[in-house]
Amino acid sequence: MSDEIKAPKFIATGDATAILPARDSGMKPITVIGTEAIRNGFDAGCIEQALNSRGAPGVTQLVLNPDAHMGYGAPVGCVMVSPTHIYPGPVGVDIKCSMSLLQMDLLADQIADRPVRRALINAILERLPTGPGKGQRSVKKSRRVNAELGRKAVIEGASREVCEALGIPPEWAECCEDSYHVGHDGSNGSLEKRLEELVGDIRGEAGVRFVKKIEQLGSYGGGNHFGECEAVELVEESSRSRSRQTSDERELDIGRGVDLNSHEFSDTMHDVADVFGLKHGCVAFLSHCGSRGWGHQLATGQFKALQEKFKRWDIPLPGGDRELVYAPLGTDEANAYLDDMALGANFATVNHMLINALVLEAFQEVLPGVKGDLVYFISHNIARREVVDNELSWVHRKGATRAFPAGHHGLKGTKYEATGHPILLPGNPRDGSVVMVAQPGAVKSCYSVNHGAGRALGRKRAIRELNQQAIDAEMDAHDILSNCRQYPADEAPAAYKDFAEVLRSVEQAGLATTIAKLKARFVIKDGDQADD
């Protein structure tokens, strides 16, 4: 391993920002978000992958977020921008892995008693299977999805027809970063054609596999996927409201095309919370999941096809890494990937919508009369077309979350235009999670923030080094219940970075502000040993 990797040449540009020069001195440096403590914690593999990714063909910008750690090809917790190429690696195998938050009108005090929370856990598990390969057929109170509805879901996403067929409130689609995705040509027709190529006759082998994958709609995966019941605590009003920007921040906004005079900005963080639909002292439910086996099948198929092409034509790999294969936009390979990514992303969207509908149904069974609404649904494993530095580009976010502030053109016409959209950041059950809103300073990170705390220990190391009895005792001391006999050691709070330091990095860098804190009351995980 080179000295460059052992001692990365970070150049601090602020209390929580820095740059990392690219290997090619003529390239724009990597933007690094994180305090000195965070930067010192980046593993060597993460830095090497960042340098490889920055030097990859067509890449114009790369951002490392404070949760960054070594992944496959590109680091988890990075943003890669390219106007000319599409990269499967900086999206990952769990296409559109996402967060969603359901807010209920139930007071947190009403679930203080452990028997009530245990009843809620059981009611949820009767509707929501957990773990690899598990589908709706494996639970008692399932909501079955047939092949025809499954086809519509992956082609249309959370359309009104799909939502109504699954018992999902159609208005929830308005609270999504993207409620549906289209194919490479901007149409559903290309997705329908691509799905026919992949599946064909529903009675054939590929069709049978498709049906099994579709049955996983409304389920959690393994690894770091979870459902978590929360008590919502709104933070005190920020000392600097959205309308009190510095002159430098205002000039930066104007330079990036943000129209500061097109609407009123909210004066307090509580106004923002009202727009989001957050309720202080009430129960919410936070979910982390993605496109399950369907997305994995699509992504691995794309990796294999591109890797075979690179090998056949002896195309150089960025950094020699097989996970950094790519396709120039406009090629058949790029079109196929964009179509497959959309098919996986539409599955993930409907999966989350159905999870939230089933969770609400479970709460209503145990506590009749409870009402709930979706706060937001947002991805952290996706490539989206956005304008970056006045150029239309594909912004790849791998373990990174979109962060559009008030006035951003991407929110025009939505209910978030005057506030910015909700950002859902999971920490860990012990230290809690947060809901944030972007600030104008997010421009420096390509309007992105981290997707959570980020791993500090690999899974095998966590299992080897962390004490199971101490983990379970800590959960009990914080009065957090779980469906697991033993909380998974590789998902223990100690396996993740210091969430307070990660949040400090985000706020000191001027990327986003905390609106609400979420305190875990119980957690749904896959209790079996499973891959992420």
Structure letter (DSSP) for residue 440: G
Residues 396-411: tens digit of each pLDDT = 999 999 999 999 999 9
Give residue 319's region: left, alpha or beta (phi > 0; psi -120 to 50): left
Q: Residue 137's pLDDT is what?
A: 79
At residue 254, does pLDDT exceed 80? no
Q: Which residues in 361-403 belong to E strands, given as ranges?
A: 372-379, 381-388, 391-398, 400-402
Q: Which of 62, 80, 11, 60 is nearest to 39 (CA)?
A: 11
Q: With bands split at pLDDT 50, 70 and 90, how would you rate the model's confidence at 528?
A: low
Task: Name, in order, each residue with C-beta under 8 angstroms of 523's C-beta and a sequence gap of 6 or more.
Answer: 226, 227, 228, 229, 429, 480, 481, 482, 483, 487
Residue type, 183: G
Give residue 200's region: left, alpha or beta (phi > 0; psi -120 to 50): left
Q: What is the DSSP string of 181-243?
A: ---TTSSSHHHHHHHHHHH-STTSHHHHHHHHHHTTSS-B-STT-EEEEEEEEEPPPPSS-TT
**Residue 448 backbone dihedrals phi, psi, to 5 degrees:** -145, 155
Among 136-140, 182-186, 310-314, 521-525, the minimum mean pLDDT is found in 136-140
At residue 258, does pLDDT exceed 70? no
Q: What is the CATH number of domain 98-456+496-524?
A: 3.90.1860.10
**Distance from C-alpha of 200 to C-alpha of 198, rounded to nearest angstrom:** 6
**Distance from C-alpha of 404 to C-alpha of 507, rounded to nearest angstrom:** 15
The DSSP bridge partners found for residue 102 are: 285, 374
At residue 251, does pLDDT exceed 80? no
Q: Residue 529's pLDDT is what?
A: 40
Q: Residue 3's pLDDT is what?
A: 44
Which tokens go with 275? Answer: 């727009």
Q: Residue 142's pLDDT is what?
A: 82
Residues 23-70: tens digit of each pLDDT = 999 999 999 999 999 999 999 999 999 999 999 999 999 999 999 999
Residues 151-184: tens digit of each pLDDT = 999 999 999 999 999 999 999 999 999 999 999 9
Share of the chain above pLDDT 90, in %: 86
Q: How many of the other CB atoms lie within 10 Å of CB of 413?
A: 6
Share of the chain above pLDDT 70, in %: 92
Q: With bands split at pLDDT 50, 70 and 90, how would you rate the model's confidence at 262?
A: very low
Q: What is the pTM of this model?
A: 0.92
State the SS3 of 228-252: EEEEEEECCCCCCCCCCCCHHHHHH
Residues 452-483: tens digit of each pLDDT = 999 999 999 999 999 999 999 999 999 999 99
Which tokens go with 409? Answer: 């053109």
At residue 501, does pLDDT exceed 70? yes
Structure letter (DSSP) for residue 496: B
Structure letter (DSSP) for residue 266: P
Which spans in 277-382 are helix H? Answer: 292-312, 332-366
Domain parsing of the chain, residue ranges: 98-456+496-524
At residue 128, does pLDDT exceed 90? yes
State the SS3 of 286-301: EEEECCHHHHHHHHHH
Total residues belonging to the chain: 532
Q: How many of the other CB atoms lie within 10 Å of CB of 345?
A: 28
Q: How many of the other CB atoms lie within 10 Å of CB of 316?
A: 8
**Reduced to 3 states, what is the DSSP secondary structure of residue 468?**
helix
**Residue 172 backbone dihedrals phi, psi, to 5 degrees:** -65, -25
Residues 198-247: tens digit of each pLDDT = 999 888 999 999 999 999 999 999 999 999 999 999 997 543 334 334 44
Q: Which of 183, 160, 283, 309 is nearest to 227 (CA)?
A: 283
Average pLDDT of 96-121? 98
**Distance from C-alpha of 86 to C-alpha of 330, rounded to nearest angstrom:** 10
Inter-residue contact 110 to 368 (CB < 8 Å): no
Which tokens go with 434? Answer: 């947060």
Q: What are the angstrom distances between the C-alpha of 6 and each of 3, 13, 46, 50, 319?
A: 5, 21, 11, 14, 16
Which tokens go with 289? Answer: 């999941």
Average pLDDT of 183-193? 97
Cα-Cα end-to-end distance for the chain: 28
Q: Residue 257's pLDDT is what?
A: 45
Residues 313-351: tens digit of each pLDDT = 999 999 999 999 999 999 999 999 999 999 999 999 999
CA 183 to chain centre: 21
